[in-house]
Amino acid sequence: MTNLLLDFIEKIDKVSYKFLNGRNGRNLPEVLPDDLCFEKTLREIKGELSYDTELASAIRKARSHLLKEQDKREGFWVGELEGDVALTAEYMMLMHFIDRVDIVKQKKAAKYLVETQQKDGGWNIYYKGPSNLSVSVKCYFALKLAGYSKEKPFMKKARDCILNMGGIMESNTFTKIYLAIFGQFDWQGIPALPIEVILLPNSFYFNIYEFSYWSRCIVVPLGIIMAMKPKHSVGGNAALDELYIIPRNKVSYRMARDQDKFSLKNVFINIDSVLRRYEKNPFRPLRKLAIEKAEKWILQRLEKSGGLGAIWPAMVNSVMAMKCLGYRDEHPDYRRALLEIEKLEVHDKETLHMQPCVSPVWDTPWSIMALSESGLSNDHPALIKAGQWLLKREVRSFGDWSLKNPVEEPSGWYFQFANEFYPDSDDTTVVLMALLLIDLPDKYKKREAILRGFKWLLGMQCRDGGWGSFDRDNNKEILNRIPFVDWNALLDPSTGDLTARVLDLMAGLGYDKDYPPAGKAIEFLKKEQEEDGSWFGRWGVNYIYGTWSALSGLHLIKEDMTQDYVRKAASWLKSVQNRDGGWGETIKSYWNESFKAIGKSTASQTSWAILGLLCTEERDSESVKNGIRFLTENQKEDGTWDEKEFTGTGFPKVFYLRYHMYRSYFPLLALSRYRNTVK
């Protein structure tokens, strides 16, 4: 396999590699510098392609905008990654917990909370979504910490909304922990997860490495906090007694049981009861050792990272855990952890909100692929600079993933600017796909990075034939029954969208469906397909994203696209097209399948649907043409599209994302691929 891969990479270094998805092996023309007129470029092309003026103009404008968005000094692309308002509320709570309240920041953050309040008084977790209880409780409490009286009209409205949804007692575990830290919820009402769990050997069925990477990074510092049970005084004005439907002193913290005494739920409740009694026992001989190990675990993973796990909840929990452990403000590790959180601030003129993390290693390869598809030459300075930046981001040390993927040499790419312990399969895949497109000066360095990355990726394939994100075989579903776990994302199992993307890469490296890992992946995709022909979208909203991903991978790996299951997927995509020619899907589809592919047309989801159909017999259909027309007619003068909807998925039913660059590079990719495939 190694020799085959090396030979193939050498070939693509000698000739201009044209990625197979939609190009049909034809050499596309290079473009002149972007500030020159596109019509002049067309006149100099000797090929047979004829470009529709409107389509050509849309591609030119989108490409020009994307090139302007590149970081000129380092070469990456990164757009804002917008999460829900709870992040900002949690930031305000953090400032109070660590006794570092910046009055200006707090005022701007509070203004943001007030401005994002819904008509019914609550706060939601995605654009135009319904009010969410846990998020609303956090926002209400953050505003009280900022000094707002509960008698303010908007506070009364928020309180009524929260009580109508069930009050504090119905909020999720993480919200209750935040409130317990400030003395607004009783610690005895939190399901148990003793810090001693970190001492369990990796060979045990239950150990922290059976959690997903994000859950692991969240839970370890949280275990320290729960072991120490801090109670930060906030004063009477910030108390939340009014959010309890039953007076707080009469609240029962007993969990509701099933009638069947031996049900799985009751078994876990019994285990939780035992663990809670253990927590009350003053004799806990392993507690000190467990806290020390957890502290060491956190500090080790702060190295070469943008904070613990480089994701918001873990970063915040790590700072609070350090505070509980007595770290002083001047301690270098504490200061650095706090600084990484501050880097996630987004300041508008009068408001402040927080990002959950940053996405340069995701935005950059997609930008490269879109620009390359649009006709930008493989040795264009912008692409070379971006490719060199990506090469520097390769992981070269062993992380948590190595416990189940014992490769000889570490590799992989992560999502953020720095997250050395946690490369993931999806970012690694798109980075390698992008590198294949660029004619980098150091061909040996590029070739070796691709070889290492692909070997690492093959080692991440799960036994079911699919790929998860950060670990292999992270799929013990029974662990989701732990009472502490109510965030719907404890695990990191194989997903169809991610698995299909690996097929994209395999095809780019010269493999087809007869390659054994590809064959296993295809079988996994077949098993994951829904009855109506669609695929679930784990990392994008939702079935449109999943179906595009699956069709792309199957097409590139040379699966027979005339098979019934493929035609069924294409027919499904056509059937859910909106009357305006676009496609859209509300986040509600994660709760209720009746909302599948129903929603206002968006630029990113329309692009995904077009890209999916271009892989099928429907590539030249009226459906595709209408989708292209939707994109060209709705493009703004600056080359972008309006898109306020959240079309990225963090954790289904819990956390969603609005990638601000999705409305730039995905439409450019779809328009360009249509031109190259059909025109």
Dihedral sign of CA atoms 19, 23, 26, 29 in order: negative
> Which top CATH class is 84-354?
mainly alpha
**Per-residue model confidence (pLDDT) at position 269:** 75
DSSP letter at 393 equals T
**Per-residue model confidence (pLDDT) at position 1:** 52
Length of the chain: 679
Do 2-80+358-460+495-677 and 84-354 share a fold? yes
Instruction: Give me the DSSP letters along 180-228.
Output: HHTTSS-GGGSPP--GGGGGS-TTSSSSGGGS-HHHHHHHHHHHHHHHH
**Per-residue model confidence (pLDDT) at position 267:** 76
3-state secondary structure of 510: coil
Q: Catalytic annotation on 426?
A: yes
Q: What is the pTM of this model?
A: 0.92
Q: What is the distance between the alpha carbons of residues 414 and 406, in angstroms, rounded to a whole number? A: 18
How many other C-beta atoms lie within 10 A of the C-beta of residue 594? 8
C-alpha distances out from residue 639 to 41, 581, 607, Å: 19, 19, 15
> Which top CATH class is 2-80+358-460+495-677?
mainly alpha
Q: Where are the domains of the chain?
A: 2-80+358-460+495-677, 84-354
Phi and psi at 162, nearest 5°, equal -65, -45
**Per-residue model confidence (pLDDT) at position 13:** 47
Mean pLDDT, consecutive 10-residue stretches, the chain (679 aa), reads 51 40 36 37 39 87 98 98 99 98 98 98 98 99 98 98 98 97 96 94 94 97 97 91 95 80 75 79 90 98 96 98 98 98 97 99 99 97 98 98 94 98 98 98 97 98 98 95 85 98 98 98 99 98 99 98 98 98 98 96 99 97 98 97 98 97 99 93
Mention every residue, 6+ apart, whose C-beta is less than 8 A from residue 63: 34, 370, 371, 374, 375, 376, 639, 668
Q: What is the distance between the alpha carbons of residues 191 and 208, in angstroms, rounded to a whole number? A: 17
**Per-residue model confidence (pLDDT) at position 157:** 98
Q: What is the distance between the alpha carbons of residues 342 and 351, in angstroms, rounded to a whole number? A: 15
User: Which residue, chain included where needed, has tokens 């999943």?
Assistant: 546
Which of 426, 427, 439, 464 is labelled catalytic?
Answer: 426
Residue 67 exposed, middle or buried by CB count within 10 Å (0-12, 13-18, 19+): buried
User: Which residue, chain included where needed, has tokens 């209880």?
Assistant: 133
Phi and psi based region of residue 588 (left: phi greater than 0; alpha: psi -120 to 50; beta: remaining): alpha
**Per-residue model confidence (pLDDT) at position 253:** 86
Contact of 66 with 364, CB cutoff 8 Å: no
Instruction: Give me the DSSP letters along 310-323.
Output: GSHHHHHHHHHHHH
How many other C-beta atoms lie within 10 A of the C-beta of residue 16? 14
Beta bridge partners of 461: 467
Q: What is the distance between the alpha carbons of residues 315 and 461, in angstroms, rounded to a whole number? A: 29
Mention every residue, 6+ apart, whose C-beta is less than 8 A from residue 86: 123, 125, 134, 135, 138, 139
- Tokens at 322, concatenated: 């350090």
**Per-residue model confidence (pLDDT) at position 5:** 52
Segment (H or E) for 347: strand 345-347
Mention every residue, 6+ apart, whose C-beta is less than 8 A from residue 2: 451, 455
Q: What is the distance between the alpha carbons of residues 273 and 447, in angstroms, rounded to a whole number? A: 55
Buried residues in 619-654 as b, exposed as e (16+ CB within 10 A): bebebbebbbbbbbebbeeebbbebebbbbbbbbeb
* Rg of the chain taking only CA atoms, in angstroms: 26
Q: Residues 103, 104, 105, CA angle at the centre, nearest 5°?
A: 95
3-state secondary structure of 555: helix
Mention every residue, 6+ apart, whose C-beta is less than 8 A from residue 10: 447
